[in-house]
Structure 1
Amino acid sequence: MINQSYLKKVFIIILAIISTYDVASAQAQKNDMPIKNIVLVHGAFVDGSGWEGVYRILTEKGYRVTVTQHSLRDFDEDLLSVEKAISQQDGPCILVGHSYGGVIISAAGNHPKVAGLVYITAHAPDSSERRADLLKTYPPANKFTIKGADGFDHIEPAKFAEEFAGGVPLEKASFMANSQVPTADKVFAAVIQRPAWKFKPSWYLVGSADRIINPDLERFYAKRAKSIKVIEINGGSHSSYVSHPKETAQLIIDAANYSY
C-alpha cells in the first residue's frame, strides 16, 4: 500500500512543476508580443515634424507613437524631456534617435521601459567619449555649419538641401532650411556614461551619402554596438528618415517585433 505522506509529497511536486511551466509559458507569450509604443527623438537643427512620414506609417499599422520636442539648448534638459516622454508610455517602448538624438537615446535608453534602440544616421557614443575626437578620425563632408557668436549654430540655409537634406523634395528641404532650430554649440560636446546600446539590442540605419555624419562613422557605431540589423540607404543623406520613411519605419517595426 502506497504511503499517503509519499503521495502528498509527489502531488506537491507535480503542482510545483505545473505552476513553473505556466509561469514560464506566460512569460514566453508576453515576450513574444510585439511592442506597440514608439518614441521618436529628433536631432540638431530640426524639430519633431521631420518624423511625420515615419509617424504616419507606424500609426497606420497600429503603433502608439510619441514624437519628442526638445529645445536643443542644453543636453541635460533634452535628456529630461525625452525621459519624461518615456515615463508616460503605458508599457515597453522602442526608442528611436536621429543624429544628435542618438546621443540622447544612448543615455535615456537606460530607462526600464526602453526595450530596444534604433539609430537613424545617428551618433552612438561610448562612456565619456568625445565626438570631436571621433570626427578627427571620421571627418564629415559638411562645410556649411555656421557657429554663431552667441553660442548657437545653424546650417547655411542656401546649402541646407545639399548638406542636410539630400533626396528630400526641394520644397520640403527649403522649408526645413528656413524653419531650422538654432542649436547650442555646447550640446555637441555633451558626453554620457553607461550607454544603453551596451546593455540593450540596437538597430542602425546608415545613409551612404550623409554629409553631416561620415557614413564610415555610422558603420563604426553600428558595428561597435553589435546592432542586430543594419540597413544602408544607397545615396541616403542625413535626412534619410525624411526621404525614405518606409525603410525607416520598417527598421523600427523590426525592432518592435524582436523577441525580447
Structure 2
Amino acid sequence: MIDGRLDSKGPRGALTRRQAAGALAGLTALAAFGARPAAAGSARNVVLVHGAYADGSCWIDVIERLQAAGYRATAVQNSLASLAEDAAATRRTLAIQEGPTVLVGHSWGGAVISEAGNDPNVSALVYVAARAPDAGEDYAALAKTFPTPPAASGFVRSNGFTQFTEDSFLRDFANGVDPVRAKALYAVQGPIADGLFASKTTGAAWRSKPSWYAVSTQDRTTSPDLERFVAKRMKARTIELPAGHLSMISHSKEIADLIVAAANAG
C-alpha cells in the first residue's frame, strides 16, 4: 500500500491484491460478528465449559465470533458423571493453552470452573447463567431458597441418569432459541448422573480471580434471582440479558463481547 493506493505488482513492504483481499475479508468478518480484535497484552485463549443436558457444541456461535476476533477458543467435553471428572477434563484443556486464558462456564459449568479455575494460566472467569458455589457449599440447599424454575418438573430418569423430556427441553431449557435449532440441541442432550448436582467444590476460584457474569432474565431452568445473588456475592462485573437459559446461543454476540471484555481486562 503506497499513499493509500494498492500496488498490484507487490513491491517489498506493499500488499498484493490477494493479500489485501484477505485483509478486507478479515475485517468484513469482524464487522459481521461484531467482535473486537484481541488487544495486545490481553488473554488470547478462551476455554469454554458447557453445562448439564448439553455438550460442547452449544458454544459454536460464540466460538465463531471469538475466532473471527483472533482468539483461540476451545470447548471442553464434560462427562457429566461427576464434578471430579469434569474438572479434570477442564484442567487437561487448560494445560494445552499457551499463556493467559479466560475460563468460561455455562450453568453446571460454573461449578466446574469454580473448582478448576485456580489454574495459574486462568486470568479471568466468565459465568453464563451459571452456578457459582463457594467451597464446600450445599448449592442445592442454596437454590431452594429461591423460586423454583419451571424446568424442575420436566425430567425423566433411567439407569442412574437424568435428562429433560422433549417438551420441557424445548419450552423451559431452550426458550428463546430458534425451534429448529432447539430440536437439534435436544438430540445432542447430555444426560447427567443422578448424583452430579450433589457434588461440592473443594475451592472457589472466583474468590481470587476477576469474574464476569451474564444473568438471563427469562431463564426457566435457573432462577434469575439466584443468578443475581451469586453474581453479587462474587462481586462480578455483571450484565443482564433478556434471554432464556441458553443465552450463549440466543445472544451469542453479547456473550462473546463479555468474554472479550474479560480477556482485555488484564
Q: Secondary structure at the match of 1:148?
A: strand
After TM superposition, the score normalised by the length of structure 2 is: 0.83
The residue number in structure 2 matching 1:4 is: none
Counterpart residue number, 1:114? 122
Tell me, in whole angstroms, the C-alpha distance in 2 between the residues paired with 1:145 and 1:203. Answer: 30
Aligned-residue identity in percent:
44
Give the alignment of 1:173-212 within 5 angstroms.
173-212=182-221
Could you report, residue by residue, the CA deviation over 1:140-159 in whole angstroms, capped at 9, with x for unpaired residues? 23244325142211111122
Report how far residue 100 of structure 1 moved.
Answer: 0.3
The 5-angstrom pairing of residues 144-223 of structure 1 reads: 144-223=153-232
The offset of 1:178, in angstroms, is: 2.3
| Of 38, 42, 55, the match for 1:34 | 42
Asked whether the equivalents of residues 144 and 155 of structure 1 are also in contact (C-alpha less than 8 Å), the reply is: no
Q: Distance in 1 between matches of 2:187 and 2:115?
A: 30
Deviation at 1:193, TM superposition (A): 2.0
Query: What is aligned with 1:28?
Result: none
Conserved? CA contact 2:78–2:89, under 8 Å? yes
Q: Which runs of 5+ in 2 are unaligned?
A: 1-38
1:85 aligns with 2:108: no
2:144 corresponds in structure 1 to 136
In structure 2, distance between residues paired with 1:71 and 1:193: 19
Give, as a single letter, the amino acid of the residue that structure 2 aligns with 1:159. Answer: S
Look up the match of 1:230: 238
Q: What is the deviation of 1:186?
A: 1.1
Q: 1:170 to 1:149 in 2, by over 3 A?
A: closer
- Give the total of aligned pairs: 227
8 A contact 2:156–2:165 mirrored in 1: no
1:258 aligns with 2:253: no
One-letter amino acid matched to 1:161: L
Tell me, in whole angstroms, the C-alpha distance in 2 between the residues paired with 1:80 and 1:101: 13
2:106 to 94, 98, 121: 98
Q: 1:249 aligns with which of 241, 244, 256?
A: 256
Q: Which runs of 4+ in 1 moved over 2 A?
A: none
Deviations 1:136-190 (A, max 9, x none): 1013232443251422111111221211111110000011112211111211111
More helix by share: 1
- Give TM-score, length-normalised by structure 1: 0.85
State yes or no: 1:125 paired with 2:116: no
Other-structure match for 1:20: none
Query: Could you tell me how far apart the structure 2 residues matched to 1:248 and 1:127 are?
Result: 26
1:120 to partner: Cα distance: 0.3
Cα gap change, 1:127 to 1:147, in 2 (>3 Å): farther
Following TM superposition, by how much is the alpha carbon of 1:46 offset from its aligned partner in structure 2, in angstroms? 0.5
Give the number of the structure whose alpha-carbon radius of gyration is greater.
1
Q: Could you tell me which amino acid in structure 2 is paired with residue 240 of structure 1?
A: S
| Partner secondary structure for residue 142 of structure 1 | helix
